[in-house]
């Protein structure tokens, strides 16, 4: 059970860390200053959440490791983040759609974690939930603006939704380490989010005049450490300092 | 989208309950809703505020600097307009 809890905590932490890292790639490159800051703010929220979770994971592990060891010194197969969040940024529409798909799920999950029987996860969820609500407000707003915008923005949004769809199914599945935690009311049963997730995406896409992709072809494996080709490149950039200068600090 | 075509908005933040909204800066946005969210992201990320006003810059009419002399200088020697020519009773506070 303790190993399951450790794995689940790492899964949450990794997902937030990798998505934050992806968003961070936009810093200084966004199309307007205001959105550059908005996206960096979201990245920093996610880093903050992942820090709390890595600190908890380090305690659960009990090997005297730190949050930095867990974030920067693990290998690709040890990462348990969702496949969705490691997908490339692409254009603004692509990054935004990836964010929106995740935000809808993240809020459902976070609200359910408020009821977790694990005190620490509950406390972290309480701190995170306001941030996540804003993330969803921000991404929904932009999905509607661009989907229901010009023909160019609409086409880019639809293309992004279509190409990202295959990575969304994994969110509403349970990894083996989650099964026992679900029984103990520590982790939420992700399969129960499927209907609400689909309904929310449908609602915003309707307003954005976008079509919800219908394909059933879905990829999974990230939660168990089997990743797409993207993660290795992310880790290479993210970990190079700690790998080159072990123990380096400010 | 070309940032140059986005209208300019002025942002006012109230830092605490009971204080006035103060002008903190400006930003670009396509409409009021976006201006509000941009203001939140740009100007309140270090806990600067509890309330935001945004107003499109074109709706603000400013006094003309060339007219500053006739607008403001005549008030210079009218000290009698300040309510300082009577005694405040001792038990009146916060005056």
Tell me which residue of A12, A34, A187, A151 sits closest to B27, measured CA to CA.
A34
Who's near A209: CB < 8 A, 6+ residues apart? A147, A148, A154
pLDDT attached to residue B95: 66
pLDDT attached to residue A250: 75
Which residues in chain B touch residue A33, judged by CB atoms under 8 angstroms apart? 27-28, 42
Would you say residue B69 lies in a domain?
Answer: no
Tally of structural domains, chain A: 1
Which residues in chain B touch residue A37, judged by CB atoms under 8 angstroms apart? 41-42, 45
Would you say residue B89 lies in a domain?
Answer: no
Give the global pTM: 0.90
Tally of structural domains, chain B: 1
With CA atoms as reference, the chain B residue closest to A39 would be B41
Interchain proximity B37–A33, CB inside 8 Å:
no
Would you say residue B85 lies in a domain?
Answer: no
Query: The domain that contains A98 carries what CATH number?
Result: 1.20.1260.10
Would you say residue A249 lies in a domain?
Answer: no
- Look up the domain containing B23 and give its range: 3-62
Query: The domain that contains B24 carries what CATH number?
Result: 3.10.20.520
Q: Touching check for A137 and chain B: CB below 8 Å?
A: yes
Helix, coil or strand: residue A231: helix
Place of tokens 């307007």: A32
Q: Mean of the per-residue pLDDT values for chain A?
A: 96
Would you say residue B82 lies in a domain?
Answer: no
With CA atoms as reference, the chain A residue closest to B31 would be A145
What percent of chain A is predicted at pLDDT more than 90?
95
Place of tokens 């993330």: A135
Would you say residue B84 lies in a domain?
Answer: no
Helix, strand, coil percentages in chain B from 3-state DSSP, rounded to 5: 35, 20, 45
Q: Tell me: the pLDDT tens digits for B29-85?
A: 999 999 999 999 999 999 899 999 999 999 999 999 999 999 998 888 888 888 777
Would you say residue A250 lies in a domain?
Answer: no
Of A34, A138, A153, the CB nearest to B28: A34
With CA atoms as reference, the chain B residue closest to A34 would be B38
Q: Judge whether residue A127 has pLDDT over 90.
A: yes
Interchain proximity A41–B41, CB inside 8 Å:
yes
CA distance A40 to A28: 9
Place of tokens 């072809």: A217
Interchain proximity A32–B28, CB inside 8 Å:
yes
Looking at CA atoms only, how far is residue B20 from chain A in angstroms?
Answer: 25
The CA–CA distances, whole Å, from A134 to A84, A129, A139, B35, B41 equal 20, 9, 9, 15, 10
Would you say residue B94 lies in a domain?
Answer: no
- Look up the domain containing A27 and give its range: 2-244
With CA atoms as reference, the chain B residue closest to A44 would be B45
Would you say residue A146 lies in a domain?
Answer: yes
Q: Judge whether residue A241 has pLDDT over 70.
A: yes
**Taking the alpha carbons of A67, A72, A74, A76 in that order, is the dihedral positive or negative?**
positive
Q: What is the ipTM for the molecules in this complex?
A: 0.80
Q: Touching check for A30 and chain B: CB below 8 Å?
A: no
pLDDT attached to residue B16: 87
Q: Judge whether residue A31 has pLDDT over 80.
A: yes
Q: Tell me: the pLDDT tens digits for A34-46?
A: 999 999 999 999 9
Would you say residue A47 lies in a domain?
Answer: yes
CA distance A50 to A56: 10
- Alpha carbon B48 to chain centroid, angstroms: 15
**Taking the alpha carbons of A14, A15, A16, A20 in that order, is the dihedral positive or negative?**
positive
Average of per-residue pLDDT across B14-28: 93
Interchain proximity B33–A34, CB inside 8 Å:
no
Would you say residue A128 lies in a domain?
Answer: yes
């Amino acid at each position: 059970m303790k190993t399951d809890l450790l794995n689940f905590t790492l899964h949450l932490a990794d997902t937030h860390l990798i998505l934050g890292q992806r968003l961070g790639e936009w810093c200084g490159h966004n199309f307007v200053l205001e959105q550059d800051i908005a996206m960096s703010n979201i990245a920093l929220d996610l880093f903050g959440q992942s820090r709390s979770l890595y600190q908890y994971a380090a305690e659960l592990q009990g090997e005297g490791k730190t949050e930095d060891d867990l974030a920067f010194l693990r290998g690709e197969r040890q990462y348990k983040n969702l496949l969705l969040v490691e997908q490339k940024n692409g254009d603004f529409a692509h990054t935004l759609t990836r964010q929106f798909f995740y935000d809808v799920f993240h809020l459902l999950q976070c609200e359910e974690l408020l009821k977790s029987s694990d005190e620490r996860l509950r406390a972290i969820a309480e701190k995170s939930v306001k941030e996540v609500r804003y993330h969803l407000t921000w991404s929904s707003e932009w999905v509607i603006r661009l989907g229901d915008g010009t023909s160019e923005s609409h086409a880019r949004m639809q293309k992004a939704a279509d190409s990202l769809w295959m990575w969304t199914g994994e969110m509403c599945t349970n990894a083996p380490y989650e099964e026992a935690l679900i029984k103990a009311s520590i982790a939420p049963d992700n399969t129960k989010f499927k209907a609400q997730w689909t309904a929310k995406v449908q609602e915003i896409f309707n307003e954005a005049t976008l079509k919800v992709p219908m394909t059933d072809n879905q990829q999974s494996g990230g939660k168990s450490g089997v990743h797409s080709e993207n993660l290795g490149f992310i880790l290479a950039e993210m970990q190079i300092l700690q790998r080159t200068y072990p123990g380096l600090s400010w | 989208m070309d940032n140059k075509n986005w209208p300019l908005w002025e942002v006012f933040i109230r830092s605490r309950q009971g204080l006035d909204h103060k002008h903190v800066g400006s930003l670009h946005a396509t409409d009021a809703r976006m201006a509000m969210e941009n203001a939140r992201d740009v100007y309140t990320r270090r806990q600067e505020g509890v309330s935001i006003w945004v107003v499109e810059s074109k709706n603000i009419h400013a006094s003309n600097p060339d007219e500053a002399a006739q607008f403001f200088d005549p008030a210079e020697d009218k000290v009698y307009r300040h309510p300082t020519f009577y005694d405040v009773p001792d038990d009146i506070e916060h005056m």
